Amino acid sequence: MSRLLTKATDRFSETAIDDEVVVMSLGSGDFFSLTDTARTIWQQIDGTRDRDALVAALATQFGCDEADIAGDVDAFLGQLDQAGLLVPG
């Protein structure tokens, strides 16, 4: 099993505004505007799912094939990880 995806809550501040989540990295001051699928992924990173479970949940929610979305999910998780918003593991 791969690592559970967990937010590094001590490294960011987030605010929900309408259908958007704005995340600010406390280390860099960079802002991330998360809408639509990015917002959904962010909200589902809760420390209870690994990457495969997250992809499966999203595929079910959006009615698509896991293989069709896995690459995009991986790219987004990579961006979050590189920004220091996920717990290393």
The position carrying tokens 């094939």 is 65
Q: How far apart are the first and last CA of the chain?
A: 12
How much is the average pLDDT of 27-39?
A: 96
- Tell me: the pLDDT tens digits for 66-86? 999 999 999 999 999 999 999
Here the contacts of 78-83 (C-beta below 8 Å, separation 24 or greater) are 80/42, 80/45, 83/25, 83/28, 83/30, 83/32
The secondary element (H helix, E strand) that includes residue 78 is helix 66-82
Domains of the chain in sequence order = 10-82 (1.10.10.1150)
Q: Are 8 and 86 in contact (CB under 8 A)?
A: yes
Task: Output the pTM of the full model.
Answer: 0.93
